[in-house]
Structure 1
Amino acid sequence: MKSIIKNRVQILVHISVWLLLYGLTFYPVLNVMRPIPSDVFPKLNVIIVLFYFNYFYLVPEYLLKKSVLFYFVVSLGLLIVSTLLLNHFYEPRFPGRFFMDREGVRGFGVFPYYRSFVSLGIPYVISAILRMYVEWKRNETLRLSVEKESIKSELQFLKAQLNPHFLFNTLNTIYALSVKKSPDTSEAIVDLSELMRYMIYEADKDLVPLNKELDYIKSYIQLQRLRLSDSENVSLKITGEDRGRAVPPLLFISFIENAFKYGTDYKGKTYVKITLTITDVSIYLNVKNKIGIFREPTKNSGIGLENIGNQLELIYPGLHHLEVDNDGKNYEVSLTIYQKQSSL
């Protein structure tokens, strides 16, 4: 439907341009009630024929396909032949001597040919420029569409990697509770079901309400508290108005998950401080954890953080600031996302 409307608009634009050209051509003559020169109609018709022959055939078939020399030879030949025919049938000829043209200007016998050649050549060149611009615009639109689809596919791929990674870690949490025969196991399963519901029904969207993302984070932290033997130093502080704001789903969870994964010391105490500040122009996340028990890096370690970094580059190019600080004792992530989110 959009393409049909677009084509109709282009047709109307072309018709309007030619009507304007004819109007500007005939108005000075009709305004003073002079006879219309015999060559005006043929010349305008030849201009239109050359314009669209060049626009629809020569430019796309030769110029845009890099047959530049052939295109220029054919174009020059067309213009010369058209000029000769017009002047042969409609222009007075004065070979080899001076003449007085319609405007009373003295010139050589070749001047009418030169004038016709220029009047035909200018629209011809404009048609080539216009067709090249249309093709460039079409290719640019196609490129942006392909790029958008590529980004969307890559984001879906990143989420597909992220979700199983998170699920495996959470199942390990529930497993640890079940091994200890903790009465909190059933509550942990309920929390996990809520998290999975969010991941199934919301995580495939481009944007989700910020308050839903925050509820997801709160559920995740509650699930982690059930696992920990000492969660006294686990805190979440959220300030600002989340109403009407939207973010990509699962945007913050990898940083929080990573903090819980490595924030437990050798005594079993966990230190994780999470601060999320919402302003009119930005969302600021700060996650800080003590570096606990050393763990040998595995093949899949850091997948979540690497993916979220790639996701930020794709969604917020130039609109985010990510800073990671590791002094050997504390690990701190600071992420600022500047206003881009749509309202929901």
Structure 2
Amino acid sequence: MSFHKKTFGHILFWIGVLLFYIFSSMSPELFGQSVETTLFRLPLLMIAAYTFNYWQIPFYLKQKKYLVFGLSMFFMIIVLTIIYRIIGYYYLDKYCEDGPYPLISLEDFPFYMLSFHFPALIMYFYKTNKEREFEKEKMFLLESEKISTELKYLKAQLNPHFLFNTLNNLYSYVITKSPKAPDMVLQLSEILDYILYKSQRDTVPLLEEINTIENYIALERIKYEKRLTVSFKKEILNDQQKIAPLLLLSIVENAFKHGVSGNIIKPEIRISILQTASHIQFKVWNTKTTVLDSNKTDDYKNGIGLTNIKRQLDLLYTNKHEFETEETNTFFNLKLKLNTE
């Protein structure tokens, strides 16, 4: 909060206190007395409030110096009460019908003990509430920045991983001067545009993610030709539905990486996406090697791909997703359900 805004807030607060004390008496005959009494009392209320909130609370109470805090409160109340009684003795005597205004009155002392710190307590609760709101906002911003930084890191992991595999494929066709190379360059350029630019947004239309998946599948088909069987079924209700970028694409890329290895005779990948008004259901089924290789299986389950995907889901779709995997000796099946409501 700026200095001027804060000062203006304090001025409004004390104007409110002044009006409250002036109009606390409903009797028109006592209005003049109420105004004069409040004007004499207001500086003492301000001293009590600022001493309490900017000295006694931060330096004693929050530092757990309870004895010193109690003694300082008692001392301050005594001083303020004496000052107010002196003011009353010399200046408010005209309002006393029962004789001279008393300099010392033990009977009224408990009342003054409470009355001087009434605005101080209001200020304290307001100040404490604002501090809590500020801390919550700060924690929220820090958490948001942390999540944003972590997501950028996860994307930085995925992009080189994805591009490395694709560029390797393209390189082999350029070397052999294959007529398929121009189509690969076009499809790769669209994938690069999506990964390097569009995916930097928080969300993208579902259509853009699907188009990139189709470009990726086209690249893989060129590489593996008739050896690979790929199906991609789509039932889309709204292709402009917003979705976190790269999630679906990275699942597909992971399936190709582990499901089309050289020792699989007839590799096959089945992809389906079903969108309703409330959710997106994405399934990827792929063949896998029949060779019992525990290292490869662990890599498939826990490598950069799936670990990355799970972490992004936890950050972006907290309590709004279902992620399941099923594995046998011959296939791996992944199901993802995103709540889009």
- Residue of structure 1 equivalent to 2:307: 306
Structure 2 CA distance, aligned partners of 1:136 and 1:333? 44
Which of 38, 49, 52 matches 1:51?
49
Deviations 1:128-175, CA, capped at 9 Å, x for gaps: 333222222222211111111111111111111111111112123334
Change in CA separation of 1:23 and 1:239 when aligned onto 2, cut-off 3 Å: same
- What 5-or-longer segments of structure 2 have no aligned partner? 91-95, 99-103
Report matched runs for 1:31-180 at 5 Å: 31-34=27-30, 35-37=32-34, 39-90=37-88, 109-175=105-171, 177=173
3-state secondary structure, aligned to 2:282: strand
Offset at residue 280 of structure 1 (A): 1.9
Corresponding residue SS for 1:229? helix
- Using the TM superposition, name which of 17-26 and 285-294 deviates more: 17-26
- CA 149–111 in structure 1, closer or farther in 2 if over 3 Å, else same: same
Shift of 1:11: 5.6
What is the Cα deviation at residue 324 of structure 1?
A: 1.1
Distance in 2 of aligned mates of 1:235 and 1:7: 65
The unaligned stretches of length 5 or more in structure 1 are: 93-99, 103-107
Contact 2:81 2:112 in 1 (8 A): yes
Is 1:191 aligned to 2:192, yes or no?
no
TM-score norm. by structure 1 comes to 0.82
Greater shift, 133-142 or 51-60, is seen at: 51-60
Q: Secondary structure at the match of 2:117?
A: helix
Separation of aligned partners in 2, 1:312 and 1:271: 26
Once the two structures are superposed, what CA deviation does each residue of 1:30-81 show, in whole Å capped at 9, x if it has no partner? Answer: 7422241554322233112322343344434444455454344323321232
Distance (Å, rounded) in 2 between the aligned partners of 1:172 and 1:115: 86
Amino acid at match of 1:54: F
- 3-state SS of paired residue (2:202): coil
Separation of aligned partners in 1, 2:299 and 2:283? 24
Identical aligned pairs, as a percentage? 27
Aligned partner of 2:296: which letter? P
Amino acid at match of 2:77: L
Deviation at 1:281, TM superposition (A): 1.6
1:205-224 to structure 2, matched below 5 A, reads 205-224=201-220
For the 8 Å contact 1:59–1:131, the answer to whether it is kept is no
Question: Equivalent residue for 2:278?
Answer: 281
Structure 1 residues 211 and 279: alpha-carbon distance in aligned structure 2, compared to 1, 3 A threshold: same
Report the residue type matching 1:59 in the other structure.
Answer: I
Residues 289, 332 of structure 1: 8 Å contact kept: yes
Q: 1:238 aligns with which of 220, 224, 234?
A: 234
Q: Is the 8 A contact 1:229 1:269 kept in 2?
A: no
Q: Secondary structure at the match of 1:36?
A: helix
Aligned-partner SS, 2:336: strand
Map Cα deviations across residues 92-146 of structure 1 (whole Å, 9 max, x no partner).
Answer: 9xxxxxxx999xxxxx942311111111133323333332222222222111111
Q: 1:299 to 1:233 in 2, by over 3 A?
A: closer
After superposition, the C-alpha distances for 1:197-244 in whole angstroms (9 at most, x for unaligned) are 221111222222221111111111111111123366311112123343
**CA drift at 1:275:** 0.9
Q: How many residues align?
A: 324
Distance in 2 of aligned mates of 1:181 and 1:191? 17
Offset of residue 187 of structure 1: 1.8
Q: Is the 8 A contact 1:54 1:127 kept in 2?
A: no
Aligned equivalents of 2:162, 2:70: Cα separation in 1: 63
Query: How far has the Cα of 1:250 moved from its partner?
Result: 0.7
